[in-house]
Structure 1
Amino acid sequence: MQIRVLGSGAGGGFPQWNCNCENCAGLRANNPNLKARTQSSITVSGNGEDWVLFNASPDIRAQIESFPPLQPARKIRDTGITSIVITDGQIDHATGLLILREHDKPWDIYCTKAVYEDMTTGYPIFNILEHFRGVHWHEVSTEQVPYSIPKADNLIFTAVPLKSEAPPYSPHRHNTVPGDNVGYKIEDTKTGKNLFYAPGLGVIEDHVLEYMANADAVLIDGTVWTNDEMSRHGINDKLASEMGHLDQSSKGGIMETLSALKKPRKILIHINNTNPILREDSEERKILNSHNIEVSYDGMDIIL
């Protein structure tokens, strides 16, 4: 199985267009220890030719241009993307669908009923796409039932319900239902190896910890270092936990949990522009390194 990190940043990317925090200002000043990041998305393939896109970020056009296997190569208009999986209805994970509206047939999109409801009501992207080629929706179960996707050779997908937060425009905001947020176990039947992918994670429940412990690689929410990171930077008074993200540094946080796992390779994704781990020379990055926890970057390749 081949995994390509198309985008490793959180919503807004890095630098965020209207942000002058230390990280964003440093990147604009060409600090060599900072690297730009587009908004969170990965793509996965079992054969190197047909790719399943996980989340369609607003930066999808640039991400496709950065990765030739997704580009047209077989006829005048086509793509290596065979289908799209959406893990939640957040803007940074679904807006790219509008950029992909010129596909030559309806997109095969896999998501839960809760996400489908968001995409047809509060944020009606699926409705808009009906004015173009449309959407062929495949309902994803929240009962952790493995399923396959046509052309995704040798790959098996299992959606894993997560406790996080629904989008601001969702009827489930502050009252989430199963399926508002899911992670994924992606298994290669040839190698027997699997990835656990969860770009948005608010609570590590027992079933989630089991998936993480049994994975060969974990690609997981790295949004913030501290729960009060936004207020520390004078941006807003929202806690990360209120936005559906578990921070890295607190007791019971992402770092402590990952450090206790023996089997998987541990990688953070969906990293907010305020997070000090973006600075490769920061003390926080050194702490992660000492725990064998990696920070993903745009263009990172993972082979399982």
Structure 2
Amino acid sequence: MKKLDKEAKTFLSNCAPITRRWAVDLLVKGKDIEEVKIAVKVFHVSEVTIYKKWIENTIKDMSRIKLNLSMKEWIEQLVIGANLDRLLSRARKEYIKSENKTLGKFINRVKRLQDKEKEFYRRATEMLLAGKNFVKVLDLAAEMETENELFLERELYLKQTIKHIERLNKLGVRESYNNIVQALKPEYAGNPAIFDKQVVIACHTYIDGTVDPTTKVKVYRFIEESVKYAGYVHASLIQYLMKQDRKMEQRISHETFELLEKLCPKIKAYGMTAIVASKLKPLAEALREKEVSQMTESDLYVLKLADMYK
């Protein structure tokens, strides 16, 4: 690729993300900058239009659930090119402090928009760099919008399942495994209103000091995968992990050790280290007097986690 002059650099900086990636690839393959401008011009306009439409649809959806009034200052930050990572980070920290359910709904909608944009970027660049016609990419955008509508429909079904489980709990009936599987869909943890109820359901699987092994696997998977969508580890889920093992074995299982090890950076980032540390400290102190050769694998897990969560 030839060294780019100021005009070419300005052109690339003004391109939409996918267009820019495609343009750079064409330049690397030996295309002249003027040829590249012609090749990507129509797609650039289409890409900007897609983002604009997605943002408009997101704001329209927010208006439908009456977020447009109370969340006005937050919604005004939803523009093409906005740093959604930064916006979500600020909103999540505010939500954890205030537990404002309306802000939670805003976070859910923005996270959905962000996920869609990231997925579109990944799939669209793969197609364009593989030489596919950009019209196919525009078809992909339409398909993704349809997928989003299906996601929202499934969300309604999930809410019905959660309500059903809540009614069963009030009647003192333990929910079935199938209901738990249906309710603990991690991809919906981005909606704080749903996530809070999913957490209650997950924690309710621990009854009278026991939890069904099959259900435990499902709950652990939910705890791990929900972080990707919720953006943080819920304090009650951390307590669930500690309560589970301390009640049953007074030690840390292999599954719990692995999960707490993976979640450590997120737990530390949100200042919730003390939840784990307070549970581990008495166990670790009791083990300090023990010879290493006499320690079980579970004992070593306790000591490793205690050091990790100092």
> What TM-score, normalized to structure 1?
0.28
Q: Which has the larger radius of gyration?
A: 2
Give the number of the structure whose residues are more often helix, by fraction.
2
Give the number of the structure whose residues are more often strand, by fraction.
1
> What TM-score, normalized to structure 2?
0.28
* Greater RCO, CA 8 A, separation 6+: 1
